[in-house]
């Protein structure tokens, strides 16, 4: 079983979405997974949702490069587990 936890979506993390050029910034230099979750939270309030930061486990590099399929099981969690 893959381990998962709720990302903190505290108000001070919302600062990462502020932009001088747009309504909402869509990229971040720090706390990228948390900033992405804060971004999703703004648009998915009426729905159960999850941000699965799978970039580190989704791909192999080197001779065995390619997709691992590793995050698939985690993406099939029952919706009740995401609430």
DSSP calls for 8-75: P--GGGGGGG--SSSSS----SSSHHHHHHHHHHHH-TTS-------HHHHEE-GGG-EE--TTHHHH
- How much is the average pLDDT of 60-82? 72
At residue 59, the pLDDT reads: 77
The pTM score is: 0.61
At residue 38, the pLDDT reads: 85
Over residues 13-66, the pLDDT tens digits come to 887 788 888 777 766 666 678 888 888 888 888 888 888 777 777 778 888 888
């Amino acid at each position: 079983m893959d381990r998962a936890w709720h990302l903190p979506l505290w108000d001070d993390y919302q600062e990462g979405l502020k932009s001088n050029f747009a309504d909402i910034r869509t990229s971040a230099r720090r706390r990228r997974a948390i900033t992405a979750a804060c971004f999703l939270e703004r648009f998915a309030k009426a729905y159960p949702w999850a941000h699965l930061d799978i970039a580190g486990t989704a791909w192999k590099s080197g001779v065995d490069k390619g997709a691992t399929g590793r995050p698939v099981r985690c993406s099939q969690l029952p919706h009740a587990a995401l609430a």
